Amino acid sequence: MNGLPGVVKTDEKIGRYLEANRDIKQGEIIITEEALMVGPSGDPHPFKICLGCCRVVIGEPVYCGTCKWPMCSEACEKIALHAKFECRVFKNAGVKPTNDPQDYHNINILRCLMLKEANMKKYETLMKLESGGGDKKKKVVAPKEVAEFILKKCNQKSYDNELLGKMSGIVAINSFATTDRLSLSIAPRMAALLFYNASMMSHDCVPNTSWIRVENPDNTFSIKVWATVPIKSGQLITTQYLDVTRSQIERRAHLQETYNFACSCKRCSDPTELGTFYGAVKCTKCPKGKGYMLSEDPMKASDANWKCNACGNSAPYRECAVPIETNIVEEIRAAADEVELERILDKHADITLHPNHWLMMDCRQEIVKRLFNSIATIKEVPRRVERAQKMLEYCRALHKVTEAFYPGNNRIKARSNLYVQYAEALTKGEGEEVDKELDRIEEVIRKGEEMNLFES
Ligand SMILES: [Zn+2]
Ligand SMILES: [Zn+2]
Ligand SMILES: [Zn+2]
Ligand SMILES: [Zn+2]
């Protein structure tokens, strides 16, 4: 762990973690290291992913001359991580291409296994990563889909089930993948990367670091992790294992299921989630409708009782929040366009839910995404300005919550701020100045993506 401003420790509850062993300045780079392995992300998605560069394949794919899997270009099929790894296995075993995210995840595991022959040193480091098998005496078993794919489909019979299980665990819990849901790139990269030092960081729903993926000229990748806020000696150096814009209950369930720990971070323990009221639903018993229902015991998740912060009315979470949340999820799913999404927002924000409720944030995020892609094409100026004012309102609401969950020098916050600026410029109507301003911001957003500042 040379050069790291922290030491790795182990705790029964949270597993391995990295503790600062000196004061770290805001913005200071904490970790720079090359990836041990890079592969396509197994996150659910409907796309074909290029096995060379891990970008989403847009339009007609180019098929690899050797294995026939879809790629985005001929150059990509020559990239070593494909050509020297699954490509020859696929050719020999006749593995046909699929769109199944699970198969992309399986490819990632296969690559890690094949690393043993390609780079023993990296392989040994990789094997030191946590695999989630908390009970050391219990035999690790590979998930059925993984064993099926690697042993049968790929005909790689030399790997035993225990090794497959360990590797599945390593890939599942240590991968650094996409975290940003406001992706506007044309061909986003859907990659999962494995690092050693960066994997020592524990999770916090308000992390004190941020990271970027850096693409090196030789098609390898590195990570840079920096402190977004000052970190005192003795404090944990933390990252996010999942999208922290998800609800408290969803986050904790996912962390428990995938990483085998119950998050008790400051945000998870606070019923108001740091004063944002991110999960609060309106109390239906309050005379003036002023109160919000909040969990009485956030650690009990969906089994908790919720209580109104104004009138004291109390009810189980399952009764006071689940029905309304389920309905709105359905409404959002069925919404055909942004007009319908805005209708949902108007119907529920500050009426059935707190205006900052995560579902209202989801709604705004979706509207902003659509507006960003369409607003500049609105020809009539008054209409465009009117839409821009709405966009600005949504962007500001999103930015406020983003600020609470990503304090300090965070790239996600920086990006959110650019959308506020973009909407602001659009509200000024037309003219050379406005066009210049818009071009400038658009350029920053697009360039940022190219440079992987806002990678997805
Ligand atoms: Zn490619
Ligand atoms: Zn190939
Ligand atoms: Zn948490
Ligand atoms: Zn009440």
CA 52 to ligand 1 centroid distance, Å: 5
Measured from the alpha carbon of residue 88, the closest ligand is: 2
Type of residue numbered 137: K
Question: What's the pLDDT score for residue 55?
Answer: 86
CA 354 to ligand 4 centroid distance, Å: 13
CA 267 to ligand 3 centroid distance, Å: 6
CA 418 to ligand 3 centroid distance, Å: 27
Distance CA 55, CA 185 (A): 10
Question: What's the pLDDT score for residue 115?
Answer: 97
Half-sphere exposure at residue 113, Cβ-oriented, CA atoms within 13 angstroms = 27
CA 303 to ligand 4 centroid distance, Å: 20
Distance CA 294, CA 292 (A): 6
Q: Is the dihedral of CA 269, 246, 49, 219 positive or negative?
A: negative
Which residue has 């270009």 as its token pair? 73
Question: What's the pLDDT score for residue 134?
Answer: 59
Question: What's the pLDDT score for residue 108?
Answer: 95
CA–CA distances in Å: residue 410 to residues 147, 150, 266, 401, 406: 39, 39, 19, 13, 6
Q: Is the dihedral of CA 348, 182, 423, 420 positive or negative?
A: positive
Number of helices (H), then strands (E), belonging to the chain: the values are 16, 15
CA 282 to ligand 4 centroid distance, Å: 8
CB 48 within 8 A of CB 99: yes
CA 191 to ligand 1 centroid distance, Å: 11
Q: At what angle do helices 411-426 and 432-450 cross, to 10 degrees?
A: 160
CA 358 to ligand 4 centroid distance, Å: 20
Q: Which pair of tokens denotes residue 45?
A: 């998605």
Interacting residues of 59 by C-beta distance below 8 A, sequence separation 6+: none
| Dihedral angle computed from the Cα positions of residues 287, 307, 278 and 224, in that order, rounded to the nearest 10 degrees | 160
Task: For residue 189, give the DSSP letter.
Answer: B
User: If you count them, how many residues does the chain have?
Assistant: 456
CA 95, chain centre distance (Å): 30
Bridge partners (DSSP) of residue 164 are none
CA 283 to ligand 4 centroid distance, Å: 5
Q: Which pair of tokens denotes residue 113?
A: 């296994």
CB 191 within 8 A of CB 452: no
CA 293 to ligand 4 centroid distance, Å: 7
Distance CA 350, CA 411 (A): 29
CB 212 within 8 A of CB 452: yes
The low-confidence residues of the chain, meaning pLDDT below 70, are 1-2, 133-138, 178-187, 288-289, 447-456
Measured from the alpha carbon of residue 299, the closest ligand is: 3
**Strand ranges of the sheet holding 305-308, from the earlier edge strand across to the other edge:** 281-282, 292-295, 305-308, 314-316
Q: Which pair of tokens denotes residue 52?
A: 């060379």
CA 34 to ligand 4 centroid distance, Å: 53
CA 11 to ligand 2 centroid distance, Å: 43
Question: What's the pLDDT score for residue 186?
Answer: 58
Measured from the alpha carbon of residue 274, the closest ligand is: 3
Interacting residues of 148 by C-beta distance below 8 A, sequence separation 6+: none
Distance CA 196, CA 32 (A): 11
CA 273 to ligand 3 centroid distance, Å: 9
Type of residue numbered 15: G
Task: For residue 437, give the DSSP letter.
Answer: H
Distance CA 204, CA 407 (A): 13
CA 54 to ligand 1 centroid distance, Å: 6
Q: Which domains does the chain have, with CATH numbers?
A: 1-35+195-240 (2.170.270.10), 37-190 (no CATH), 323-450 (no CATH)
Measured from the alpha carbon of residue 294, the closest ligand is: 4
Question: What's the pLDDT score for residue 217?
Answer: 83
Measured from the alpha carbon of residue 74, the closest ligand is: 1
Type of residue numbered 373: N
CA 104 to ligand 1 centroid distance, Å: 14
Half-sphere exposure at residue 145, Cβ-oriented, CA atoms within 13 angstroms = 11
Judged by DSSP in three states, 33 sits in: strand
Residue 322's region, left for phi above 0, alpha for psi from -120 to 50, else beta, is: alpha
Measured from the alpha carbon of residue 266, the closest ligand is: 3
Task: For residue 85, give the DSSP letter.
Answer: I
CB 80 within 8 A of CB 52: no
CB 308 within 8 A of CB 286: yes
Question: What's the pLDDT score for residue 456?
Answer: 34
Distance CA 187, CA 200 (A): 30
CA 51 to ligand 1 centroid distance, Å: 7
CA 312 to ligand 4 centroid distance, Å: 6
Measured from the alpha carbon of residue 52, the closest ligand is: 1
**pTM listed for this prediction:** 0.88
Distance CA 380, CA 382 (A): 6
Distance CA 409, CA 339 (A): 34
Measured from the alpha carbon of residue 91, the closest ligand is: 2
CA 288 to ligand 4 centroid distance, Å: 9
Enumerate residues with CB within 5 Å of ligand 2 (an ion): 64, 66-67, 87
